[in-house]
Amino acid sequence: MSGNLTKVVLLHLAVLVALFAGQFFASDYAVLTLTRIMVLAVYAVGYNFLFGYTGLLSLGHAMFFATGLYVAAIGTTRAGLSVPAAFAMAIVIGFVVSLVMGAIILRATGVAFMIVTLMFSQAAFLTVLYFGEFTRGDEGIVIPDAIRSFIFLGVPVDLTSEVLRYNMALAILGCAVALTLVLVRSRFGHVLIAIRENENRTAMLGYDVARYKLIAFVISGMLSAVSGATYALMFAYAGSTLASIQYSIHPLLWTLLGGASTVLGPVLGTALMFLLVDFASSFTNANLLMVGAVLILLVLFFPKGIIGTLRQRYVPWLP
Amino acid sequence: MTALLETRGLSRSFGGLIAVSEVDFTLMAGEVRAVIGPNGAGKTTFVSLIAGRVPPSSGIVLFEGEDITRLPAFRRVRRGIAYTFQITSIYANLSVSENVELAAHQSGAAGSRAALEHVGLADRAQQIAGTLSYGHQRLLEVAMGLALHPKLLILDEPTQGLSDAEIANFIELVRGLSRDTTVLLIEHNMPVVMDLAHRITVFDRGAILAEGSPGEIRADPAVQTAYLGSADA
């Protein structure tokens, strides 16, 4: 196992180093695209923690993404919070919202769980529209550049700088990947996988299944909120589209494309889907049709996602 | 000698169907007890009430003299009640050793190794559990029960679907276990029951029909009626 551990750590470090090196070769446009991908990949990594490793399929993660998004946007523009304070606040509120939602939603299982997550997320979306005075509905909140340039612990930070944004997004993604890696290789992670594989059996081995599921739910929700807050602060925008059902489905598709219950799958899936939509949009506005076609091919040829299928066939040690 | 497990007035109904009705049951530490009875007699519901998988409609369950009626299943497991499923319930996609390690909370890898050796699966530790033969999957299920180091091991129809040779091994295994674990066994296979059990409890229509040593049960006319039907029925 220790030999595998070295390989696993080296592989993930190599991916992060490659992403770091990428900024020196990529065009300005590619840097911006990669920044977006990395921020959204944090969302997918968080989603996969619940879906891939714990086996809970949520159709409502947009509510957690939107929590981070709006706490950051409203915090900076209305409540006079600094960017770091708003970010910290987003994490704290993300924690509280996931804990409360998890405590309620986890009473349901299976299909009911999916429907209840969807329901609460739609309620959250409608709440965003209802309080249009604060959220500015689908028009959205724009965070002024003046707020995004600030001094943090004596260091001037300018979030309009593309290089800085890129490296911050990379750092946050690196943390999310490292956290997932540590958790899924821990005893805690093994119990989550056991719950996914056979929940009754796991309870009959003396594990408090409800507690494990709640903790996984909160970690997943918090990572989603971190992604949402980062998105708002880096791209200076929070609109209701980002709280809509589409944004609940996105992380599911990204995860399925890259490979559920693989650490790097959601990252790869986010990147591929993003690039595909980008590419398709350059010549057609029916880009969702392309997405649909890719999903059908995926189900036919890579039912476990790209990295999931690679793991199954060639590299069994991948986490 | 004190009772390890005791139930008083334990009942459970599903809608209008009374599956278990007012059962008073006592199990002494160190016993091997078999629970037998016709299909639908409430045996599985009864042990599920003990294991905490099903909440009772009324009555109480005492384990080591303490009331555990309100405890969820996982807390009962931690107190020493292990349950092996009637329908094999393992982690089919995980390796044999991973299966048992999940059960070996306290003793870790060493405990899991010991449990596998005990049931004779040590040489298959790295195999994916779902690829084991049915008989070996049953043994794995028992190994998971053992790795919990239970005070009470509940086996729900453990020999169902096993070959005669496998059954013979299984009898030896359970006999070995019973030196330090109390065993509660639901079983249809009469030779196994007669061979292993110190005492037998016969269920019929949700209630205890008879209880006694294998010899007493064999001679009991009420038991014969329940199993075979009476001449004037």
Cross-chain Cβ contact B89/A200 below 8 Å: yes
The two tokens of residue A60 are 């409502």
How would residue A1 be classed by pLDDT, with cut points 50, 70 and 90?
very low
Show residues of chain A in contact with B85, CB under 8 Å.
200-201, 204
Interior angle at CA A238, CA A237 and CA A244, nearest 5: 140
Q: Write out the H or E segment, with its range, that includes residue B152.
A: strand B152-156
Where residue A136 falls (left for φ over 0; alpha for ψ -120 to 50; beta otherwise) is left
Nearest residue, CB atoms, A190 vs list B53, B89, B102: B102
| Residues found in chain A | 319
Q: What is the distance in angstroms between the Cα of B190 and the nearest Cα belonging to chain A?
A: 28
pTM of the model: 0.86
Cross-chain Cβ contact A208/B74 below 8 Å: yes
Cross-chain Cβ contact A205/B102 below 8 Å: yes
Residue A312 scores a pLDDT above 90: no
Q: Which residues pair with A141 in a beta bridge?
A: A238
Please give the average per-residue pLDDT across A226-241, as a whole number: 91
CB within 8 Å of chain B, chain A residues 179-198: 190-191, 193-194, 197-198
- Best mutation target, A188, A205, A207, A317, to test chain B (most B CBs within 10 A): A205
Name the burial class of residue A264, with classes exposed (0-12), middle (13-18) and buried (19+) by CB atoms within 10 angstroms of its CB. Answer: buried
Cross-chain Cβ contact A202/B102 below 8 Å: yes
The alpha carbon dihedral of B19, B25, B27, B32 has a sign of negative
3-state secondary structure of A40: helix
H-assigned helices in chain B: 43-51, 73-79, 96-103, 108-119, 134-147, 164-177, 190-196, 214-219, 221-228
Stronger pLDDT, A38 or A310, i.e. the higher one: A38
Please give the average per-residue pLDDT across A253-259, as a whole number: 90
What contacts A177, CB < 8 A, 6 or more positions away?
Answer: A12, A15, A16, A45, A263, A264, A267
Q: Is B106 on the interface with A (CB under 8 A)?
A: no
How would residue A68 be classed by pLDDT, with cut points 50, 70 and 90?
very high
Q: Write out the H or E segment, with its range, that includes residue A168.
A: helix A162-185
3-state secondary structure of B9: strand
CA distance A9 to A19: 16
Nearest residue, CB atoms, B73 vs list A190, A191, A204: A204
Cross-chain Cβ contact B77/A206 below 8 Å: yes
Residue A63 scores a pLDDT above 80: yes
CA distance B147 to B142: 9
Cross-chain Cβ contact B89/A198 below 8 Å: yes
Q: What is the pLDDT along chain B (233 residues), one digit of tens a residue?
A: 578 998 999 889 888 888 888 889 999 988 999 998 888 888 889 999 999 988 999 999 999 988 999 999 999 999 999 998 877 788 988 889 889 988 887 666 777 888 888 888 888 888 898 888 888 888 898 889 888 888 999 998 888 888 888 888 888 888 888 888 999 999 888 888 888 889 999 888 888 888 888 888 888 888 877 776 655 54
Closest among A207, A244, A222, A248 to A101, alpha carbons compared: A222
The amino acid that residue A253 corresponds to is L
How would residue A6 be classed by pLDDT, with cut points 50, 70 and 90?
confident
Q: Is B73 on the interface with A (CB under 8 A)?
A: yes
E-assigned strands of chain A? 141-142, 149-152, 155-158, 237-238
The two tokens of residue A41 are 């990949």
